Chains A and B, each alone.
Chain A
Amino acid sequence: MRRFLLIAALLLVHVVPAFAVNPDEILADAAQEQRAREISAQLRCMVCQNQSIDDSNADLARDLRLLVRDRIKDGDSDGQVIDYVVSRYGEFVLLKPRLSAKTMVLWAMPVVLLLIGGVSLFLVMRGRPARRSASILTQDEQARIDDLLKK
Chain B
Amino acid sequence: MIIELGHYALVLALATALIVAVLPMIGARRGDVAMMALATTGSLVLFGLVALSFGVLTFAYVVSDFSVVNVWENSHSLMPLIYKYSGVWGNHEGSMMLWLLILSLFSALVALFGRNLPETLKANVLAVQAWIASAFLFFILLTSNPFLRLDPAPAEGQDLNPVLQDLGLAIHPPLLYLGYVGFSVCFSFAVAALIEGRIDAAWARWVRPWTLAAWTFLTAGIAMGSYWAYYELGWGGWWFWDPVENASFMPWLAGTALLHSALVMEKREALKIWTVLLAIITFSLSLLGTFLVRSGVLTSVHSFATDPTRGIFILCILALFIGGAFSLFAWRAPSLKSGGLFAPISREGALVLNNLILTVATGTVLTGTLYPLVLETLTGEKISVGAPFFNMTFGLLMLPLLIAVPFGPMLAWKRGDLLGAFQRLYVFAGLSLVAGLVFFYIHSGGPVLSIFGLALGFWGMFGALADLWVRGNFGKVSAGVALRRLAGLPRSAFGTAIAHFGLGVTVLGIFAATTFGTETVTEMKPGASVDAGGYTLTFDGMRDAAGPNYTESRGHFTVKRGGVVVADTWSSKRLYTARRMPTTEAGILSFGASQLYVSLGDPIADGGIVVRIWWKPYILCIWGGALVMMVAGFVSLTDRRLRVGAPNRRTAAARRARLEAAE
Contact = CB atoms under 8 A, between A and B. Distances in A.
B is bound to A: yes
A87 to B, nearest CB: 16
A32 B173 CA distance: 42
A97 B383 contact: yes
A8 interface: yes
Contacts of B247: 2
A7 B233 contact: yes
B363 A110 contact: yes
A96 B612 contact: no
A44 B386 contact: yes
Contact of B383 (A19, A23, A102): A102
Given A52-B386, A95-B385, A113-B364, A22 B610 contact: yes
A132 B299 contact: no
Contacts of A105: 367, 371
Interface in A30-65: 41-42, 44, 49-52, 55
Contacts of B364: 109-110, 113
A16 interface: yes
B418 interface: no
B336 interface: no
Contacts of B176: 1-3
Contacts of B172: 1, 3-4
Contact of B384 (A2, A8, A92): A92
A1 B601 contact: no
Contacts, number: 183
Interface residues of B, number: 76
B329 to A, nearest CB: 16
Contact of A11 (B163, B367, B393, B573): B163
Interface residues of A, number: 53
Interface string B570-607: 00010000000111100000000000000101100000
B521 A4 contact: no
B388 interface: yes
Interface string A98-140: 0000110110011001100110010001001000100000000
Contacts of A55: 235, 237, 240
B225 interface: yes
A17 B304 contact: no
Nearest to B376: A92
Given A6-B244, A9-B302, A114-B360, A102 B381 contact: yes
B386 A4 contact: no
B341 A128 contact: yes
B356 A117 contact: yes
A127 to B, nearest CB: 11
B492 interface: no
B163 A113 contact: no
B243 interface: yes
A19 B117 CA distance: 57
A101 B443 CA distance: 44
Given A2-B176, A8-B161, A95-B389, A102 B379 contact: yes
Contacts of B242: 6, 49-50
Interface string B360-399: 1001100110010001000101111111110011001100
A110 B360 contact: yes
B386 to A, nearest CB: 3
Given A1-B293, A6-B244, A49 B386 contact: no
Contact of B387 (A2, A12, A23, A95): A95
B356 A22 contact: no
Given A49-B242, A92-B382, A95-B389, A7 B232 contact: yes
A20 B229 CA distance: 16
A128 B241 CA distance: 40
B16 interface: no
A90 B381 CA distance: 10
Interface in B47-99: 89-90, 95, 98
A16 B382 CA distance: 27
A44 B582 CA distance: 24
Contacts of A91: 381-383
A140 to B, nearest CB: 21
Interface in B282-330: 289, 293, 299, 301-304
A125 B623 CA distance: 39
B82 to A, nearest CB: 15
- Residue among B172, B289, B601 facing the most chain A CB atoms (10 A cut-off): B601
A5 to B, nearest CB: 6
B522 A23 contact: yes
Contact of A1 (B95, B233, B582): B95
B246 to A, nearest CB: 9
Contacts of A92: 382-384
A20 B173 contact: no
A26 interface: yes
Contacts of A2: 176, 225, 244-245, 247-248, 289, 293
Given A9-B244, A49-B242, A113-B359, 18 more contacts: A1-B89, A1-B95, A2-B248, A2-B293, A4-B163, A4-B225, A8-B163, A17-B582, A20-B235, A52-B386, A55-B235, A95-B385, A97-B384, A103-B371, A105-B367, A106-B367, A113-B364, A128-B341
19 contacts: A1-B89, A1-B173, A2-B225, A2-B244, A3-B168, A3-B245, A5-B293, A7-B232, A8-B161, A17-B573, A17-B584, A51-B240, A52-B386, A52-B387, A95-B385, A95-B387, A95-B388, A105-B367, A117-B360
The 9 closest A-B pairs by CB, nearest first: A95-B386, A3-B225, A96-B388, A9-B302, A1-B173, A19-B601, A113-B360, A2-B244, A109-B367
Interface of B: 89-90, 95, 98, 161, 163-164, 168-169, 172-173, 176-177, 225-226, 228-229, 232-235, 237, 240-245, 247-248, 289, 293, 299, 301-304, 341, 344, 352, 356, 359-360, 363-364, 367-368, 371, 375, 379, 381-389, 392-393, 396-397, 521-523, 573, 581-584, 599, 601-602, 610, 612
